[in-house]
Structure 1
């Protein structure tokens, strides 16, 4: 059963295992679907089932995903699910050696690139959504002057708010209230900069 806790990736081997483009996509798809087989995921990423199975096993070897309870009658198919509520990466876990710093930065860039690609696809298809969804979508940039402590507090409050909405949506989804419900991506970046 998926843990209701967040998983903090703090070791280099797990970070490297997660830092593969296809594995990130598979993890995201598995997170959205909650449970899926390699065949179902392979269809979504347009890759061979054997390749997807290999990458799922690598994610499982590092405890990022786990086998799920069998969902159908076909006992030959393995079902997978995320092993935790969310994954977290923290800079301080990878700042004590050059290889760790470089790997953390590379994985961060890959995550960002995938976020950008997801948003580009949304922009390209925005007119195919109903006016209600187009109106509900948003994009904003806020520029504030904060201390490190204030930024940390803001981030914590935002995570708590998003958690409440996500939990409410999942509970309603599991209760069968799926009418009008879609997958929603919310990407937040908060970082200091100098102009």
Structure 2
């Protein structure tokens, strides 16, 4: 499993900050879906992605090439044939927050599309887990799962410290287990959301 971290802002880690061209290339619902599948489940072909997305292999092949042009994905060395190419998402963190891209309307629009699609997919996966019944999972997986929300009153410095600690824990876990294979191993999604609430408590 490739290391897989997407962030909404640079955190000073060794990660790639997507430039405006890469953001625009990724700013398509199916491309976000393909990119995320490669991140979560490892290398795929256009055919296997077609089966997973419900699209044609011609469509997935086209979008794979578009992502590859901006080095968002790459062919797997030594695997596949001329007719059946395997694709993977390179190891390493990725940040969607590019200050230069955010200075232009097209850059802001592309960033918004990418973030909306990724967050929508994350929410959909969570709701699927809830809908299929958390109790349907084996007991050991139930005990290892966590859906938790907490609120505290913090300063900006304390919030930065908390975010850094949580990110460091995610980085350590992904770095240690990203290539793990074997019986009982499954993809596990890990979410961290740290952000200030409106003082008025209004939802906008």
TM-score, scaled to structure 1? 0.84
1:68 aligns with 2:72: no
Structure 2 distance, partners of 1:97, 1:192, is 26
Aligned residue runs from structure 1 range 88-127, under 5 A:
88-90=95-97, 92-125=99-132, 126-127=134-135
- Shift of residue 12 of structure 1? 2.4
Q: Secondary structure at the match of 1:69?
A: strand
**Superposed CA RMSD:** 2.3
- Determine if contact 2:3/2:39 at 8 Å carries over to the other structure: no
Higher fraction of helix: 1
Structure 2 distance, partners of 1:26, 1:101, is 22
Which residue of 4, 8, 23 corresponds with 2:17? 8
Bigger RCO (CA 8 Å, 6+ sep)? 2
Aligned residue runs from structure 1 range 135-154, under 5 A:
135-154=143-162
1:79 aligns with 2:83: no
C-alpha distance after superposition, 1:95-154 (max 9, x if no partner): 323443333233222221111111111111234311221222111112122233332232
How many residue pairs get matched? 188
Structure 1 distance, partners of 2:3, 2:118, is 23
Structure 2 distance, partners of 1:187, 1:152, is 17
Q: Secondary structure at the match of 2:127?
A: helix
Structure 1 distance, partners of 2:66, 2:159, is 35
Give the unaligned 5+ runs of structure 2.
Answer: 5-13
Structure 1 distance, partners of 2:159, 2:166, is 11
- Alpha carbons of structure 1 residues 71 and 103: separation in structure 2 relative to 1, 3 Å: closer
- Determine if contact 1:19/1:107 at 8 Å carries over to the other structure: yes
After TM superposition, the runs of 4+ consecutive aligned structure 1 residues lying more than 3 A away are 2-5, 91-95
- Determine if contact 1:18/1:24 at 8 Å carries over to the other structure: yes
- Alpha carbons of structure 1 residues 34 and 6: separation in structure 2 relative to 1, 3 Å: farther
- Determine if contact 1:6/1:84 at 8 Å carries over to the other structure: no
- Shift of residue 13 of structure 1? 2.4
C-alpha distance after superposition, 1:45-64 (max 9, x if no partner): 12111100011111111110
Structure 1 distance, partners of 2:147, 2:141, is 13
Which residue of 51, 57, 64 corresponds with 1:56? 64
